[in-house]
Each structure stands twice: as structure tokens, then as C-alpha cells.
Amino acid sequence: MTTGQPTRHRPRSRATRILLILAAVVSAVAVLAVAVVAVLLLRPPGPRPIFQMPVACGETWQLGTYPGHDDFDVDLFPTEGESWGRPVLASYAGRVTVAGINGSLGGRTPEDPDGPRGRGGGYWVKIDHGGKWETQYLHLLEPPLVRVGQRVEQGEQIGRVGSTGNSGAPHLHYEQRQGWQKVEAYFDGEPSGITHDDTEYTVNRTSNNCGTETSR
């Protein structure tokens, strides 16, 4: 069908052609990027690393949870001696992805243990162990001893136990994650038994995080 109007094909200018090519290239790169991200997200996680307890070799600590904590969250208290300042160790080798403040610090210190509570995790560290496995360590006493991007070995000290953030008493709040999901913490290949926060639950375990000497 014709309208009687002659169709005029105006030759595209050089600038228009370059723009069209650029647009095509940009879309191709965007599609590729989305595909890469999708593949990374859908990739199955790697095998569970043999995590060790995040505290000194040979020490026995109480692992516990309570209603309202959150499923799989583990709070650690030493069965002997003070909690304040105890070394916090990397559960497994990896790369530090967070080392800073979560929420607000508050004012709970060894000198003022009942000082104002902060919010969230206080000083905290997150380590990427590869294969989508991560661990995190909350309520540290002082700024973490590691920085983002740093490679850490299993057993390397990353901080000290404190009570920053939303913490009632000095302790270490600890999580193991697979992708975005928290999972039951395993230590030395054994499940911790801490799977839900329906009831208060505690269990004592002795750390076998003995591979590397504490660096500080």
C-alpha cells in the first residue's frame, strides 16, 4: 500500500551512525554483565569450609542463643575468665569484606560495663571465605585489627571481645552464612546445634582453632 507520499530516506549522518554503534555496544556489555552476575548468583555454593571456633585454641566457651536473637546466631562467652578483650580469631582463611561499625557503638566499656547501649553490631568484621561462605563477628571492643581487602589466615586475630552496639554484656556474636542465608554454625566439622531462637539454648565447646599462631 502506498500513500502517494514519496518515502525519503535521509542518509544517516556519521554522528548518528557512531551513536547507534555505541548504543549497540553498550547494550551488549549490559546484557553480558547481567548474564555474568546471574551466573555468579546462581552458581552453587562451594563445600563447607572446616570452620574453627573464633576463639583461642584449647579454650572452652559457652555457645548460646535465646528467644528473639535470630535463627542460627551464636553468642559466645568464655567459661573461664573475663570476656573483655579476649582475642577474636578468624574461623577460616579468607578476605575481609567488612571491618568497621554496624549501627552505633554505644558506651559499654570495661570501665563502664553498664554504659549506654549502642545499636546493631558495633565494631564488626565480615570475612569472605570463597565458595559463597562468609563469617561475621560482632560487638568487638575496639576498631578491628584488620582492614577491608586484607587476606587473613585461619586463627589470625581480627579483634577483641567487647560490648559495642546492641549488647548487654561483653561477648562475641558470631554467624556463618552461605550466600545471603545464615546457616547452622559448624566448628571443626561438627554442628553447633544452634538452629533456631525459639528457646534459650547453650552448649559448651572447646576451640580447635590451633592452626596459626595469633599474630597479636
Enumerate binding residues for Zn ion (CB under 5 A): 75, 173
- The contacts of residue 102 (CB under 8 Å, 6+ apart) are 120, 121, 122, 123, 124, 138, 165
User: Which CB atom, from 173 or from 205, has the smaller least distance to Zn ion?
Assistant: 173
For residues 172 and 163, the answer to whether their CB atoms sit within 8 Å is no
Report in angstroms how near the CB of residue 81 gets to Zn ion at its nearest: 20
Report in angstroms how near the CB of residue 111 gets to Zn ion at its nearest: 23
What backbone torsions phi and psi does residue 28 show, to the nearest 5 degrees? -60, -45
Report in angstroms how near the CB of residue 153 gets to Zn ion at its nearest: 25
Cell of 149: 581487602
d(CA 2, CA 60): 89
Residue nearest Zn ion by beta-carbon distance: 173
User: Which CB atom, from 49 or from 122, has the smaller least distance to Zn ion?
Assistant: 122
User: Which CB atom, from 75 or from 134, has the smaller least distance to Zn ion?
Assistant: 75
User: Which CB atom, from 43 or from 196, has the smaller least distance to Zn ion?
Assistant: 196
d(CA 72, CA 64): 10
Report in angstroms how near the CB of residue 139 gets to Zn ion at its nearest: 8
3-state SS, residue 40: helix
